[in-house]
């Protein structure tokens, strides 16, 4: 069965040296999600772009996400269960670091609500793998493990690998590609989930106010 691999970068995007860009060249049927402003980590907009990417695919979709892109991928997948074959979630950003409008500054605005209340806390309905490290500046390993458990994901701790990005030496990433291929081989291309969303993820996430010029 023909399938698509949708690459979902994180905050600031994934440049030419990033492992996600390398994945695009290595994985047949891979393409990058479009319609996202990588400098504005606004979850409702990002998740909708991922949903659009899933909807425009001609067959089941594998999601390969990094950092903040993992949150968008999870949110989108929770409402597209019948179309998602599986998810590889690498270094998922801590939702406590963000608000519905963007980055959260807990020091200057401690009462800002975090994104955590809108992130699904139930199994995603498709095979998933969370790849995390012990010294990621964007998420503690304990937090990554918590969300992996909520989503019904396998947790792969790869040790002291930073944010698993270019800065931590993850350009071409053969180990990551092997993990992705193993996930695909274990599942195949057929989504197992249903269309039902059993969490608070699909509705109620406030869209930020957009100023007009």
Whichever domain contains 177, its CATH number is 3.40.50.1820
141 touches 134 (CB < 8 A): yes
Q: What are phi and psi of 181, to 5 degrees?
A: -65, -35
What pLDDT does residue 41 have?
95
Instruction: For residue 88, give the nearest of 165, 202, 174, 184 by alpha carbon.
Output: 184
Which tokens hold the place of 115? 């994104």
How many contiguous H segments (helices) and E segments (strands) does the chain have?
5, 8
What pLDDT does residue 186 have?
84
In a domain, 11, yes or no: yes
pLDDT in tens, the chain (213 residues): 678 999 999 999 999 999 999 999 999 999 999 999 999 999 999 999 999 999 999 999 999 999 999 999 999 999 999 999 999 999 999 999 998 888 887 665 667 788 999 999 999 999 999 999 999 999 999 999 999 999 999 999 999 999 999 999 999 999 999 999 999 998 754 444 332 333 333 334 443 333 332
Question: At 143, which helix (H) or strand (E)?
Answer: helix 141-151
Q: What are phi and psi of 45, to 5 degrees?
A: -70, -45
Judging by DSSP bridges, how do beta strands 61-66 and 4-8 pair with one another? parallel
In a domain, 99, yes or no: yes
In a domain, 204, yes or no: no
What pLDDT does residue 204 have?
41
As a whole number of angstroms, the distance between CA 64 and CA 106 comes to 29
What pLDDT does residue 191 have?
46
In a domain, 91, yes or no: yes
What pLDDT does residue 101 have?
83
The strand order across the sheet containing 84-90 reads 30-32, 4-8, 61-66, 84-90, 128-132, 154-157
DSSP letter assigned to residue 209: P
Residues 46, 48, 49: CA angle, nearest 5 degrees? 65
In a domain, 203, yes or no: no
In a domain, 17, yes or no: yes
As a whole number of angstroms, the distance between CA 155 and CA 165 comes to 18
Q: Angle at which helices 174-187 and 19-26 pack, to 10 degrees?
A: 50
What pLDDT does residue 196 have?
31
Number of compact structural domains in the chain:
1
What pLDDT does residue 20 have?
98
* Domain containing residue 180: 4-104+113-187
What pLDDT does residue 206 have?
42
In a domain, 207, yes or no: no
Instruction: For residue 35, give the nearest of 13, 57, 19, 18 by alpha carbon.
Output: 13
What pLDDT does residue 112 have?
79
- Tell me if residue 128 falls in helix, strand or coil: strand
What pLDDT does residue 211 have?
32
In a domain, 206, yes or no: no
What pLDDT does residue 108 have?
55
């Amino acid at each position: 069965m023909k399938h698509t691999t949708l690459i979902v970068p994180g905050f600031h995007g994934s440049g030419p040296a990033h492992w996600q860009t390398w994945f695009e060249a290595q994985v047949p049927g891979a393409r990058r999600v479009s319609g996202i402003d990588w400098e504005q980590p606004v979850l409702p907009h990002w998740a909708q772009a991922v949903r659009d990417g899933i909807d425009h695919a001609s067959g089941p979709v594998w999601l390969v996400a990094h950092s903040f892109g993992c949150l968008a991928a999870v949110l989108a997948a929770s409402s597209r269960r019948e179309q998602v074959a599986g998810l590889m979630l690498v270094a998922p950003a801590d939702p406590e670091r963000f608000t519905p409008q963007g980055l959260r500054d807990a020091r200057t605005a401690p009462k800002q609500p975090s994104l955590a209340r809108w992130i699904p806390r139930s199994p995603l309905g498709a095979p998933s793998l969370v790849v995390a490290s012990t010294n990621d500046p964007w998420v503690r390993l304990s937090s990554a493990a918590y969300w992996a458990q909520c989503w019904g994901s396998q947790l792969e701790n790869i040790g002291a690998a930073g944010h698993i990005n270019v800065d931590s030496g993850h350009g071409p990433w053969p180990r990551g590609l092997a993990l992705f291929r193993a996930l695909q081989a274990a599942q195949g291309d057929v989504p197992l989930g249903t269309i039902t969303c059993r969490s608070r993820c699909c509705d109620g996430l406030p869209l930020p106010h957009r100023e007009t010029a």
